[in-house]
Amino acid sequence: MLLANAQVDLHLTLVDSAQCFGWIERGGWFGQVLDGKPVWLARTEDGILCEGCDAAYLRDYLDLNRDYRALASEYDHLPAAKRAIEMYPGLRVLNQPVWDTLVMFILSANNNVSRIRRLCMQLSEHFGVQYDTPRGTLYSLPSPERLVQCDEASLRALGVGYRASYLIGSARAVIDGFPIYDLAGMDYDSAHARLLALPGVGDKVADCILLFGCRQTSAFPVDVWVEKLLRSWFRLQSANRNALRKDARRMFGDHAGLLQQFLYHAARTGGMTFE
């Protein structure tokens, strides 16, 4: 299946942007299991080649139904914001399966991108479902049901460290009825507050789950890079990261989180420098 006129840089969006950690790259093809289906993507001159899922699903996952030029124009009054969006025309903010997003961002706490990716792979290869395809083998992340069967020691053996108990505890909560699939339909403040009940989920991880897994486009994750850029580029003087989160949402509006991804990437990769 060919997805025509797709304005997306697969390597930038799926690998470099640190909003997901499960895609593997092999010979120009990108592979991951999405909602129980092994998916392979590749760029051609005409668009995105896709094996394993239909066009509507992929368009939604890659957020291709959104006008990112219009997004940039929402920030005409904030030059640094507009510049960051226009600097990366191939970067999109993904709409990912919420459980996978929860697992990945529990792993992300106080961790670096390359190691998060490695832990995600370890977890998938040991406890996920294996899919053999003509292009190679892919592994899903473990389901909540599989994860609660793991003991803490076996997860620590993979290198996840103190996050082992968080993974098991959040899996338990989901099995016991925590409404992860309702978060997308809730107002932001309610959804954010509910997520804090899960072990391993604080203010920042909750915002990542809402932004990358629940279509809550105003969710604004504040990590070390975002704190730095908010103070430097936007002169915010909020006392701490929680206050920065609230002030940034107020300043950037309903699509604050989409902007956040461009700002984060510009700061982390040096596309825009600090003074």
Partner DNA sequence: GCCCAGGAGATGT
Partner DNA sequence: ACATCTCATGGG
Per-residue CA distances from 6 to 10, 47, 60, 255, 256 (Å): 10, 5, 12, 21, 23
Give whichever of 133 and 269 is closer to DNA, judged by the CB atom: 269
Which of 87, 109, 121, 236 is the binder for DNA (CB under 7 A)?
A: 109
DSSP assignment of 162-217: THHHHHHHHHHHHHTT--GGGGGGS-HHHHHHHHTTSTT--HHHHHHHHHHHS--T
Length of the chain: 275
- For the CB of residue 45, give the shortest distance to DNA in the complex, in Å: 29
Which of 176, 239, 270, 275 is the binder for DNA (CB under 7 A)?
A: 239
- For the CB of residue 48, give the shortest distance to DNA in the complex, in Å: 21
- If one asks whether residue 113 binds DNA (CB under 7 A), the answer comes out as yes
- For the CB of residue 16, give the shortest distance to DNA in the complex, in Å: 10
Which residue is it, tokens 């105003």?
A: 218
Q: In DSSP terms, which residues pair with 48 in a beta bridge?
A: 3, 43
Give whichever of 213 and 221 is closer to DNA, judged by the CB atom: 221
Instruction: Please list every residue from 185 through 204 that binds DNA, using CB under 7 A.
Output: 196, 198-204
> CA-based Rg of the chain, rounded to a whole angstrom?
18
Q: Quick check: is 204 catalytic?
A: yes
- If one asks whether residue 246 binds DNA (CB under 7 A), the answer comes out as no
- For the CB of residue 37, give the shortest distance to DNA in the complex, in Å: 24
How far is residue 144 CA from its own chain's centroid? 19
Binders of DNA: how many residues, by CB under 7 A? 43
Alpha-carbon gap, residue 259 to 262, rounded angstroms: 5
- For the CB of residue 223, give the shortest distance to DNA in the complex, in Å: 4
Alpha-carbon gap, residue 68 to 74, rounded angstroms: 10
- If one asks whether residue 237 binds DNA (CB under 7 A), the answer comes out as no
- For the CB of residue 138, give the shortest distance to DNA in the complex, in Å: 22
**Token output for 254:** 């309903």
Per-residue CA distances from 61 to 147, 219, 272 (Å): 25, 18, 27
| Window of 13-21, 28-36, 75-83, 129-137 that interacts with DNA by CB under 7 A | 13-21
Select which of 37, 82, 204, 228 is catalytic.
Answer: 204
- If one asks whether residue 139 binds DNA (CB under 7 A), the answer comes out as no
- If one asks whether residue 229 binds DNA (CB under 7 A), the answer comes out as no
Instruction: Please list every residue from 140 through 169 that binds DNA, using CB under 7 A.
Output: 156, 159-162, 166
- Under 8 Å between Cβ of 247 and 236: yes
- If one asks whether residue 215 binds DNA (CB under 7 A), the answer comes out as no
What DSSP state is assigned to residue 15?
I
Give whichever of 132 and 176 is closer to DNA, judged by the CB atom: 176
- If one asks whether residue 271 binds DNA (CB under 7 A), the answer comes out as no
67 φ/ψ angles, rounded to the nearest 5 degrees: -95, 100
- Residue 124: its H or E element: helix 113-127
Enumerate binding residues for DNA (CB under 7 A). 17-19, 108-116, 156, 159-162, 166, 196, 198-206, 208, 221-226, 239-240, 242-243, 260-261, 264, 268
The residues assigned a catalytic role are: 204
